[in-house]
Structure 1
Amino acid sequence: MDLVYRSAKLQDLESLVSLLSSDPLGSQREDATLPLNDAYLSAFEAINSDPNNALIVVELDGNVVGMLQMTFIPYLTHIGSWRCLIEGVRVHEAFRGQGLGERMFEFAIKKARSKGCRLVQLTSDKQRPDAIRFYEKLGFKATHEGFKLAL
């Protein structure tokens, strides 16, 4: 499987929102109707213009088959190191179970190391037990309790 990893382009936005909305949780919080909500365009522009963000598209034979967002964050903790937050990980349903997710994380971890990050972190909704098992299989540990406050 020859995967291509690249930065997302504006032309990818509809495909990316479709990926984000293509599971039970995403279908409740995303809006893939066309034309896309302007908030998606604003978010894309903010991500794209921030050197500490990377919205990555994964292609196979010219088709978008996966995505993830990486945010590089400087911290005073861990001796003033950088960490990478990985979010919005999605694999097109037709390509799940074929090792694509593992390859995406190999790419992301390599990129985080190249940026000098000492830690990679992510969160997963507790309603996604398969995703949690996947992250644990990759070596991620649930060392903290996460909290969110909807505004």
Structure 2
Amino acid sequence: MNLAFNKILKEEIPQILPMIQELMGQQFSDEILSQRFSEMFDQNYECFKISSEGQTLGVFGLWFMTRHYAGRSCEPDHIFIREEFRGKGVGKKLFEFIYKYAAEKGCETSELNSYVHNFRSHKFYLNEGYEIRGYHFLKKL
């Protein structure tokens, strides 16, 4: 499968919302997600569409930051691949793209978060060489 990873522009946020809604289980309104993504685009964030032969297969984002413990780092975020394309090597090719792209931007490391109940992603990330180094905590203010 020939894949393309194309950057999404801020104006194209509405195109990705259905996939983000599916990923998030419809937790937030489109208005809230649009507002949040609009703010994200003003930070060290980039968003990409995954496609093949004109068909959209998924979406993902990348955060770029410098961490005292990891150096310049790339954090893949909200990775979503449509159900019918899972298990077909899309994730493997996606991460090959991410590693190459991040290295070109001067990143030394990649780190990510995965929901505790997403066992399939845990196996994938461990196979990619990620190590579980801690827990991600969230407190609503």
| TM-score, length-scaled by structure 2 | 0.87
1:98 aligns with 2:91: no
Amino acid at match of 1:20: I
Q: CA deviation at 1:8?
A: 1.1
Q: 1:110 to 1:3 in 2, by over 3 A?
A: same
CA distance in 1 between counterparts of 2:14 and 2:83 reads 16
2:31 is aligned, of 26, 38, 42, to 38
Task: Name the SS of the counterpart of 2:115 in structure 1.
Answer: coil
* Alignment counterpart, residue 136 of structure 1, candidates 117, 123, 126: 126
Identity %: 21
Q: Map residues 51-62 of structure 1 onto 2, 5 A cutoff.
A: 52-62=44-54
**Structure 1, residues 35-73: CA drift from partner, whole Å, max 9, x if none?**
xx32232233333344x2110111111121011110100
Corresponding position of 2:104: 114
Structure 2: 5+ residue stretches without partners? none
Q: What amino acid sits opposite 2:88 in the alignment? A: Q
Q: Is the 8 A contact 1:20 1:30 kept in 2?
A: no
The count of corresponding residues between Structure 1 and Structure 2 is 141
Aligned AA for 1:68? F
In terms of mean alpha carbon deviation, does 82-91 or 11-20 score higher? 11-20
Structure 1 residue matching 2:63: 3-state secondary structure: strand
Matched, 1:64 2:56: yes
Q: Which runs of 5+ in 1 are unaligned?
A: 32-36
By relative contact order (CA 8 Å, sep 6+), the higher-ranking structure is: 2
**Matched-pair contact (CA < 8 Å) for 1:70–1:87:** yes
